[in-house]
Amino acid sequence: MTALEYANIIIDISHEKVDRLFQYRIPDRLKDKVEVGCPVEVPFGKGNTMRKGYVLELTDEPNWDPDKIKEIAAVPEDKLGAEDISIRLAAWMKRYYGSTMIAALKTVLPATKKQNIQKHKFVSLRMDLRQAREYYYECASKKNQKARERILAELLLAPDDRIPYELITQKLHVTAATLKSLAEKGVIRIDEEEYYRKPIAGDSDRYGAKELSPEQQGIVDSFISDYDAGKRDTYLIHGITGSGKTEVYIALIDEIIKRGKQAIVLIPEIALTYQTLMRFYRHFGDRVSVMNSSLSPGEKYDQMERARTGDIDIIIGPRSALFTPFPNTGIIIIDEEHESSYKSESMPKYHARETAIELAKLVPGGASVVLGSATPSLESYYRATTGQYHLFELKRRLTGGTLPQVEIADLREELRTGNRSIFSRRLQELMEDRLNKGEQAMLFINRRGLAGFVSCRSCGYVFKCPHCDVSLSEHRGGRLVCHYCGYEQPLTKICPKCSSKYVSSFRAGTQQIEDEVKKMWPNARTLRMDADTTRTKGSYDRILSAFASKEADVLVGTQMIVKGHDFPDVTLVGILAADMSLHASDYRASERTFQLLTQAAGRAGRGEKPGNVVIQTYEPEHYSVQTASRQDYEAFYEEEIAYRDLLRYPPISHMMSVQILSYDEDLGMQFATRLRAIMEQNKRDGAIFIGPASAAIGKINDVYRMAVYVKMDDYDGLIAYKDMLEKYIHQLEDMGKLKKISVQFDFDPVNG
C-alpha cells in the first residue's frame, strides 16, 4: 500500500543495466498493490509493448514532465517465481543493510550468465545385430579395415550397445574421420547427451538414517508438527559438538523432502566441513549438491540449473548458497550459526541469518529456519530466550569420549616466579609427557585481535576506554586509541594499577611458537597452520592429513585448527594467548573468546584416551575464560548479556557503523564529523552517537578508514538515519564533490 505517485522500475535485470530505472505513475486502482520489490507490467518503448519490470523505489518526485510519464498497467497476481523472490530479497537487503540495488542484485542473482552446456558423445550400432556381425566379418577379412574391425568388435560386446566417443578415439585409436565415414554408411550412430557438471562425487556407500535418540526425535517431532500445522518459525538447536545436530538436520530434511520441498544448508567454510558434506552426500546421494567459490562458472551455473529444474533437493554451501533458486524451499539450516563468516564484509553487508529469515517469509508457502551451534551467537540465544526463536537443547555427547580436563595457567604468576618462556610450567610438563608417550598436541594461538592491546604482564591490567569498555589499541607516536569513540591517552610505561614496568603491547605469532617448540624439544616434529602456510590450494588439507597420519607430534596454528576434523590421538591442547581475542578492540571480544576457547578445548580427548587443556592467560578470572573452562554456555551468556545491556550493544540494542573511506585522513575525519552532525541535528529518541574514530584497521592500501557509530533500540530508526545520510551523500556526488571519499554502512557489525 502506498500513497506515493511514482514508481522507479527496472525492466531488464541483466547486471549491466540495473542502474537504469524507468519511472511510471501508479494508478489509484493499483495503489494498494504496488510495493518495493514487486513485479509489474508496464508499456515499454515506442510501441508500448508490455514488459515485466520490478519496482525498486517509490517516490513523489517526477523525474521529468509528469504528463509524459506512463502508467503501470498491472501487478501480476500469480504466485512469486524464483526470480521475483530474489528481487524482493534484494530490495529488502538494500533497505535493511544500506547498499546499492546493483550490489544487492548481484548478490542474490549470482550465476545468471548462461554457460556452455556439457555433453557426452556416444557411439552406438545403427544396423541390427545380424547385419553388424556380417559387416564385422567383412572388415576382419580385409587388411586395411583393422580400425573398423576394432570398433565393431567393441560395439558387439558392449553391454548397453553403446560406447563413449572418447574411449573409441583414445583407447581404440580410431580416428574421427573413420567414425564419421561409418556413421555416413549407416553402420553406427553418434549421439550427444547433455549432462550437469557435478562438483561432488565420491564413495557411494550410502548410509540410511540413524535411529534417533529420544532427545533428537523430540526435536524432529516438534518441528514437523509445527510444520504440518502450517507454522513457520525459527528454531535454535543448542548442542555441544557430537551431540547429534547434524543427524537431526538430516532427519528434518528427509521429512521436508517427503513433503515435496527443498532444503538449503549453510555451513561456514567448505574446507573446514568436508566431513559434514560427505555425510550428506552419503545419505542423499545425487539429490544433494554443493555451491562454493572454488567451483568453476560452469559448475556453478549447472548447480543453479539443477536446483531450478528439480534435479536436486538439497544444496550445501557458504552464505551465498542462500540464493539457490529452488522452486519450493521448505527449510533453511544454518550450521555453526555463530560463525562470523555468515556476515558479508562487502556490500551489501548482510548477515545470512537475518537474510535467511526474510527469505523464508518470501518463498511460496513459507519456509522454516533452523540454526545450530554449540556456542550460539548472543543474538540467537537472546532471541531464543525472549521467545522470538524456538529453543531446542541437546545435552549429551553421543560418541562417548570423555570431556577434557581444563586448567587455567596464570601468566602473571609465571612471570612473578621467574618463568619468562611463552609456555607455562604446567604446559611444559604436559608437553614433555605427551612427547614421551608419542601422543599428539595442538598449540593454538589466538590471532583474532589484530590491533595490539596493551597490558601489564605483571598484574594483568588492560588499558581500556573509559567510555566504551573496549581495549585501547596502540598507535604510532605512543598513543592509546579507542576505535569506537576516538578517545586517546598517551601510552605510559608504568602500570597504573601495580606500578610495575612490564607494560607492553601483546604480540606473538605462530612462527615464534613453532621456533620455541623446536628450541625446547629438538626432537618434536612440528607442523604449522596459519594464513602463510595455507596460501596455496590444497595446503590446508595436506597439513591436516599429515597431522592425522601422525607425521608430526605438534600442530601449531591459528583459529583454523580448532574447527572440524577429529584427531583421536590429540590428548593435549595448549591455548597460548587467550587474551588476544579477549582484548580485541570491539564489543564482541568476549563472545569470540568464549567461542574459540570452547571449540579449542573440545579438540582434546576425542578418542579413547582422556585429554588435557591448558588455557594460558593474564586474566584468569575473566568470565569468558572461566565459563569456557567449564564449558558452561549459560553462565557465559548471563554475564555477557548484562554487559551488552549496560552499554547498549547488540543484541540488546542495534548499532550502525557509518564507515568513511578516504585517501586523505583529515578530509575523511572532517566528513565523518559532518555526518555525525547531520544525524544529531535530526535527533531521534534513544539515539546514541559515538565517534568519529579511526576504524579497527585504520588504513588499508593507503585508504584511511574511520567510522561514526549510532546505537539505537529501534532498527528502523537506524535505517532512517542511513536514508538521511544517503540522500545527503547522493547530493554531494551529483555535484561532483565526493571524489576522494566513499561511505559504507554496516549494521550490527561483526568484525570491529
Which runs of E-coded beta strand occur in 248-381?
262-266, 288-290, 314-317, 329-335, 368-373
Task: List beta partners, residue 694.
Answer: 706
Which of 155-163, 193-201, 412-420, 449-457 is the region at the interface with Zn ion (rule: CB under 5 A)? Answer: 449-457
Residue from the set 37, 39, 244, 404 that interacts with ligand ADP by CB under 6 A: 244
The C-alpha cell that represents 259 in the structure block: 513433503
Q: 40-49: long-range contacts at Cβ-Cβ below 8 A with a sequence spacing of 24 or more? A: 40/7, 40/9, 40/72, 40/73, 40/74, 40/75, 40/76, 41/72, 41/73, 41/74, 41/75, 41/76, 42/9, 42/11, 42/70, 42/72, 42/73, 43/70, 43/71, 43/73, 44/11
Stretch near Zn ion under the rule CB under 5 A, chosen from 191-199, 491-499, 550-558, 563-571: 491-499
465 interface partner picked from Zn ion, ligand ADP, none, CB below 5 to 8 A per type: Zn ion
Does residue 467 interact with Zn ion by CB under 5 A? yes
Q: What three-state secondary structure class fits 601?
A: helix
212 binds, among ligand ADP, Zn ion, none (CB under 5 to 8 A by kind): ligand ADP
C-beta closer to ligand ADP: residue 167 or 212 = 212
52 touches 7 (CB < 8 A)? no
Contact range with Zn ion by CB under 5 A, out of 228-236, 496-504, 526-534, 537-545:
496-504
Residue 446, Cβ density class (10 Å: 0-12 exposed, 13-18 middle, ≥19 buried): buried
Amino acid at position 303, single letter:
Q
The residue (of 325 and 401) whose beta carbon lies closer to ligand ADP is: 401
Cβ proximity to ligand ADP: between 239 and 651 the closer is 239
Give the DSSP letter of residue 186.
T
Q: Which of 200, 398, 652, 661 binds ligand ADP (CB under 6 A)?
A: 398
Helix (H) or strand (E) holding 101: helix 101-108
For helices 146-157 and 129-140, the axis angle rounded to 10 degrees is 150
Binding residues: 456, 459, 465, 468, 482, 485, 495, 498
Question: 312: alpha, beta or left, given left = phi > 0 and alpha = psi -120 to 50?
Answer: beta
Instruction: Candidates 95-103, 206-214, 221-229, 587-595: pick the segment binding ligand ADP (CB under 6 A).
Output: 206-214
CA-to-CA distance for 575 and 637, rounded, in angstroms? 22
Tell me the window of 81-89, 92-100, 238-246, 737-745 that interacts with ligand ADP (CB under 6 A). Answer: 238-246
Considering the complex, state which of residue 60 and residue 211 has its C-beta at the smaller distance from ligand ADP.
Answer: 211
CB of residue 45 vs Zn ion: minimum separation in angstroms? 56
Facing residues of 234 across strands? 369
Binding residues for Zn(2+), as ranges, are 456, 459, 465, 468, 482, 485, 495, 498
Nearest distance in Å: CB 319, ligand ADP: 19
**Antiparallel, parallel or unpaired: β 688-700 and 703-712:** antiparallel
Q: Does the footprint of ligand ADP cover residue 338 (CB under 6 A)?
A: no
Q: Which does 242 bind (CB under 5 to 8 A by kind): ligand ADP, Zn ion, none?
A: ligand ADP
Residue at grid coordinates 548477515: 351
Does 206 help bind ligand ADP (rule: CB under 6 A)?
no
| Number of chain positions touching Zn ion (CB under 5 A) | 15
Alpha helices in 503-586 (DSSP H): 510-520, 539-548, 579-582
List, in sequence order, every residue forming a beta bridge with 189; answer none if it has no partner.
124
- Which of 86, 234, 243, 355: binder of ligand ADP (CB under 6 A)? 243
- Our CB check for ligand ADP shows the closer of 208 and 387 to be 208
Burial class (CB in 10 A: 0-12, 13-18, 19+), 297: exposed
Interface pick for ligand ADP out of 245, 349, 448, 592 (rule CB under 6 A)? 245
Choose one: 18-26, 201-209, 486-494, 555-563; the region binding Zn ion (CB under 5 A).
486-494
Q: Does 498 bind Zn ion (CB under 5 A)?
A: yes
Binding site for ligand ADP (CB under 6 A): 210-213, 216, 239, 241-247, 398-399
Binding site for Zn ion (CB under 5 A): 456, 458-459, 461, 465, 467-468, 482, 484-485, 487, 495, 497-498, 500
